Structure 1
Amino acid sequence: MKDVYLLSGFLGSGKTSLLTDLLRQLKAQGLKPAVIMNEFGKLPFDSQAVDEDIPLKEMLEGCICCSGAEKTEAQIQGLLHGPEFDVLVIETTGAAHPVEALDAVYSPIFADQLHIKGIITVADSKRFLERETLPVQMRSLFLEQIRHAHLLLANKIDLLTDSEAAKVVQDIQQVNPHAFIVQTTHAKVPLNVVERLSATTSQFPVEKAPITSLQLSTRLVTFTTPVEREVFEQWLRALPDTIYRMKGYVWVKGITNPMLFQYAYGMVQWLPEYVKMSPQLVIIGENVNELKVPSI
């Protein structure tokens, strides 16, 4: 299993500084990292921060959450079939929504090869204090990036007074009371803090997650027997609104191959699949380990 970290945060918040320092620490521990970098423009400016000996895939001209799952899957598949690595670090664009980015990364095709450790959001502390001056959509995304993080870096803390620094931490805790918050300069955080994260829950049946304070998490379900489609759809209608995404292949009674299944914020899509895919489903949301899934 490859550990995966998703780096989130606005442009200029310090994500690339975090990436550079994480890669340094991983290599110092004898681990082999790989990187996916997502940039809006045509030129890969930030990729210069990655050493040549580190496997690197670049996604240019678009945000990872709207560039298409197929493109993201292809990049990850390329890494998995390339030189051996231990840890995958994905730096998203400043416009990436954490749920959408996680959805793009976590495909049922290779979900059993990846262990999503968590989303690390870098927040520019000064910009956070001035968030009310931002346009509404920008402020909303800024807060969403913070709300869904498993680890939060209150970065550029050296630019604030002691009272301002205290207010930043207090206000961030109100947005996300579950994440661990670290005050940082140049986005430097000890590797042992990062390694404690675990946003992937075990398969059903499940026990309590090792870190119960995490909200946004993922779960891989493998169907051992086919489901009744009507029963499965009744279960879908009863889902809480904290289940954001599901995608994968559901084994349905009376149908030869598992069906391609997509779920997004209550919207359901079933598509026939002509190749016999592994009957696995990825669930993304909050408290996913508490769900009881039919026929597994």
Structure 2
Amino acid sequence: MEAIITVVGFLGAGKTTLLRYLMTNFIEKSWQPYIILNDYENAHLDAQQFAEQIEPKWVNALTGSCICCSGINELRNLVNRIPERTNGVTLIEANGTSDACALMEFLGVGLQERFLPPIQVSVVDVKNWQQRGEHNELEANQVQVSSLIVLTHLEKTSKQRQDIVIKELESLAPMATIIPMEALEVLLLPELLPSTATPTKLVHQKAHWSSCSADVPVLPGIASIYSICNALPSHILRVKGCVQINNEKGYTYFERKPDGEIHIRPFNGIPVTGTKLLTIGPGSTPSLLEEAIQMSLETMDAS
């Protein structure tokens, strides 16, 4: 029977990093993963970044809906259509605002008998855990029915901070195993059992924020990316995009995490939806994105 592993966690916690780690290690151990990515806006950007390590036919992107509610039927139908493989394993990355408890409650209903009951792995950013203000409740919800909690960003925290976070996680999810990513052995994941914990219900609207995207012209330099990210207000929790820099043949991927850190790296291939700026968070509107892009271009022209 095939294991279904759902990866959940707050925006920027490191879900895609964990997913890539799982995929790479499963492949090295002769397993055949199938990957499903969910996001409010353009999940195809993230899906393309797996193409160097796995054939595109084994990666699917669900965009424009939330798989914990409006997208659950689409997700379930997609899982049931996954081809049978030798040593198959299905890896699902939920978007960072998912009601993780609702996802696990609904996903297991109606799956084919060839699949094991889904298990949940939650990614926790130790540095920023419960530093989300009004979004703390959502972040806490995302660990309650996890079978495994993977700790990230440990290198940026003290031992005292780590102990505090682990104690809080043990209280919220007493049945979960809690480990750093480097201690994770992927072959143990299919052996995990689903959590039987009874979660505290989340007011579902708290997990739903606005999101949008805008086209981006060719930018004059990397500095324009920083200018765009810094022009967007802090209540926009996640900023990401794929752009083309003047005189460069390839494309550049960037993201601004909820703590304000900006990461830039080469993009793998050509973005199928064109160059885009995408945001998730209260107040996301196309006009806000377009204003930030225009402001960046004017700043670069002036300099």
The TM-score normalised by the length of structure 1 is: 0.60
Aligned AA for 2:65? G
Structure 1 match to 2:23: 23
Within-5 A mapping of 1:161-200: 161-184=158-181, 189-199=184-194
Please tell me the residue identity of whatever aligns with 1:215: T
1:55·1:83 contact (CA, 8 Å) conserved in 2?
no
In 2, Cα distance between the equivalents of 1:89 and 1:143?
22
Q: 1:55 to 1:177 in 2, by over 3 A?
A: same
Unaligned runs of 5+ in 1: 200-213, 217-240, 245-296
Aligned pair in 2 of structure 1 residues 158, 32: CA closer, same or farther (>3 Å)? same
Matches within 5 A, 1:99-178: 99-108=101-110, 110-128=111-129, 131=130, 133-135=132-134, 138-178=135-175
Deviation readout 1:66-100 (Å, 9 max, x if unpaired): 234331233123324x7766100111001111222
Pick closer, same or farther for the CA change 1:2–1:142 going to 2, 3 Å: same
SS in 2 for 1:147: coil
Cα contact 2:2–2:114 (8 A) shared by 1: yes
1:68-87 aligned within 5 A: 68-80=71-83, 86-87=88-89
Deviation at 1:18, TM superposition (A): 0.6
CA RMSD of aligned residues (A): 2.5
Gap regions ≥5 residues in structure 2: 202-303
Conserved 8 A contact 1:20-1:49:
no
Tell me the residue number matched to 2:278: none
Looking at structure 1, the residues matched to 14 and 119 of structure 2 have their Cα atoms a distance apart, in angstroms, of 18
Query: Residues 68 and 99 of structure 2 are in contact (CA less than 8 Å); yes or no, is this contact kept in structure 1?
Result: yes
Among all aligned residue pairs of Structure 1 and Structure 2, give the percentage whose two residues are the same amino acid.
19
Q: CA deviation at 1:104?
A: 4.2
Q: 1:113 to 1:195 in 2, by over 3 A?
A: closer
Dislocated runs of 4+, deviation >6 Å: 82-85, 241-244
Q: How many pairs does the alignment contain?
A: 198
Q: Distance in 2 between matches of 1:139 and 1:17?
A: 22
How many angstroms apart in 2 are the aligned matches of 1:29 and 1:71?
30
